[in-house]
Amino acid sequence: MESPWEVKLISPVFNVFPGSPWRQSAEKFWRYLSNHCHIEGEVYHGTHVHVFTTPDINAGEGQRLAFAILQLETAIEALVPDRAGHLDARSNWLHSEFLAGQASSRRDAVNFVEHQYWQFGLPTTMQCHDSYDQNFCANFRGWERRGRTVIEFRTPPPSTSLLQALGWAEFTLCLVQASMRCPLRDLVDIRANVGGCAGLCAGTLYTGLNEFDSLNAIWNGIPWNAMLEPRPSFPQNYPQADILSEVELLGRMIREDKRGLEGVGRPWVLGCIFMGH
């Protein structure tokens, strides 16, 4: 068999808590790979981070997490511009049957999650009826299959270094923690740019639990005011006529959303104020 071979790596489940040695375990793993392999990242690959909490994420926390993912989508997209329109990480707003599928604006989608998501459940609201379709930026399908509330973050590009892998893990942990704890009224006020996203994550940086160095690698060199609208993406077997009609509709929604974001919310916040850890 000819080389190079493509290998999918699935890490062990790390228990993350103040003082946890999970980073040292990750460092040993990457050191071994670096010594024995040549690591490259392909455009059709990615870094997928799965997170679940103890105790499980409850309904209110899941609602706030979904709310934040929709609210901050343009900030997250700005962190990974080369991943725009990736089929493995489609926009939850543009491709959810219940959100953009109903020709709703981002504000309508956020309001739906705030007030009516319970009618269908988060996985169906944020994705679609197809229980096997997990190719969304935020994949909630793990909630239905594994007996616990697992969220999978599929947006990051392939990690080819320890710093990148740790950075995206830190980012996902911070985003999940901050979203779960931040009141909806404060999430609404966060500007949907990189600075707003960084400010939200800053509220969960606890000594011994999260680290600035790894997290800073994610937005290093990216302007705080950077925002990027998501790009529609369609499977290869999707009917061409449907693509043309949907691209026209989604393009109009994106343009309207971009205009609406120009003056919404504060430039950024320095994280929500949380009581306790």
Helix (H) or strand (E) holding 138: strand 138-139
Give the range among 46-50, 113-117, 128-132 with minimum mean pLDDT. Answer: 128-132
Tens digit of each residue's pLDDT (9 = 90 or more) over 214-232: 788 888 889 999 998 888 8
Strand order in the sheet with 49-51: 49-51, 151-153, 138-139
As for how many domains the chain has, the answer is 1
Q: Residue 203 falls within a domain, yes or no?
A: yes
User: Residue 194: pLDDT above 50?
Assistant: yes
The answer to whether position 273 is within a domain reads no
Least confident of 104-118, 132-146, 165-179, 261-275: 261-275
**Does residue 188 belong to any structural domain of this protein?**
yes
Q: Determine the distance from the C-alpha atom of residue 256 to the mean position of all C-alpha atoms in its chain, rounded to a whole number.
A: 22
- Tell me 153's DSSP state: E
Within-domain flag for 275: no
> What are the C-alpha distances in Å from 217 to residues 40, 53, 79, 164?
19, 25, 11, 7
* Ramachandran area for residue 215 (φ above 0: left; ψ -120 to 50: alpha; else beta): alpha
| Tens digits of residue pLDDT in 12-44 | 788 887 778 888 888 888 888 888 888 887 777
Look at residue 195 and tell me if it is in a domain.
yes
Global pTM reads: 0.84
Domain containing 146: what range? 22-37+44-261
Q: Is the separation of the CB atoms in 111 and 125 below 8 Å?
A: no
Query: Position of tokens 């009516």?
Result: 116
Length of the chain: 277
The verdict on residue 6 lying in a domain is no
* Structural domain contains residue 131: yes
Interval 88-102 mean pLDDT: 82
Report yes or no: 157 and 44 within 8 Å, Cβ to Cβ. no
In a domain, 146, yes or no: yes
